[in-house]
Chains A and B, each alone.
Chain A
Amino acid sequence: GENVEQHPSTLSVQEGDSAVIKCTYSDSASNYFPWYKQELGKRPQLIIDIRSNVGEKKDQRIAVTLNKTAKHFSLHITETQPEDSAVYFCAATDFQKLVFGTGTRLLVSP
């Protein structure tokens, strides 16, 4: 079955800096890769997703890149703000089961 690894586990940046979170997956059949943001005590919320037929997707300050050959995908947040502080989860699926990474705790200091 699918296995998703996520790094780093914690990431501290200064406001305005960029943040990058990386994930690798094991199942080459996986074709959908969402990223969720979870604030303390809140539900996971989708922030961006990418399908295997594209290599990059952007939405304002957030971008995701996918390298199918290497089986890894990354989340890029530019111009970070304190409200970006949360736990971010990557996930991968081949439509059978969504498998989540272990999460990255992002702390943006003012």
Chain B
Amino acid sequence: EAGVAQSPRYKIIEKRQSVAFWCNPISGHATLYWYQQILGQGPKLLIQFQNNGVVDDSQLPKDRFSAERLKGVDSTLKIQPAKLEDSAVYLCASSFDLQGVQETQYFGPGTRLLVL
């Protein structure tokens, strides 16, 4: 079974520039998550999709971050414009999620973003 795929693996940009990250979940997984992991901290949920609908985006800084999952499979997370404090690893995860039962979240390798 192929795992969660993410690209790019690394990205260096200057502040105020834009950047986009891509995620392809495990086949058949309806739920997709984007997390931000700042060095030395646990992952923090940014947005959760169920198929192509948003379940939770309460911690997404909507003035600069956006995400979409148009066809209910791949997803893109964008930051525009980037700030220094956005430097972090952006993790994508997916889960199968039987109705009403939390299933295991499988993480991708992450995209390490450095904003200069």
Residues on A lying within 8 angstroms of B by beta carbon are 6, 31-32, 34, 36, 42-46, 49, 89, 91, 93, 95-103
Contacts and interface: CB of A to CB of B under 8 A. Distances in A.
Interface in B77-106: 91, 100-102, 104-106
Interface stretch (B17-25, B65-73, B107-115): B107-115
Contact of A32 (B40, B42, B102, B110): B102
A62 to B, nearest CB: 15
A103 B106 CA distance: 18
A24 B110 CA distance: 27
B16 interface: no
A44 B44 contact: no
B48 interface: yes
Contact of A89 (B33, B43, B45, B100): B43
B91 A43 contact: yes
A97 B106 CA distance: 15
Nearest 7 pairs between A and B by C-beta?
A: A100-B42, A32-B102, A43-B107, A95-B102, A44-B107, A89-B42, A43-B109
A30 B66 CA distance: 28
A93 B108 CA distance: 20
A103 to B, nearest CB: 5
Interface in B50-74: 56
Interface centre among B91, B100, B105 (most CB of A within 10 A): B105
A36 B43 CA distance: 11
Interface centre among A32, A97, A102 (most CB of B within 10 A): A97
Given A43-B109, A44-B43, A95 B100 contact: yes
Given A44-B107, A97-B45, 19 more contacts: A32-B102, A34-B104, A43-B107, A45-B107, A46-B106, A89-B43, A96-B56, A97-B48, A98-B33, A98-B45, A98-B105, A100-B42, A100-B43, A101-B42, A102-B41, A102-B42, A103-B40, A103-B41, A103-B42
Given A44-B91, A89-B43, A97 B56 contact: yes
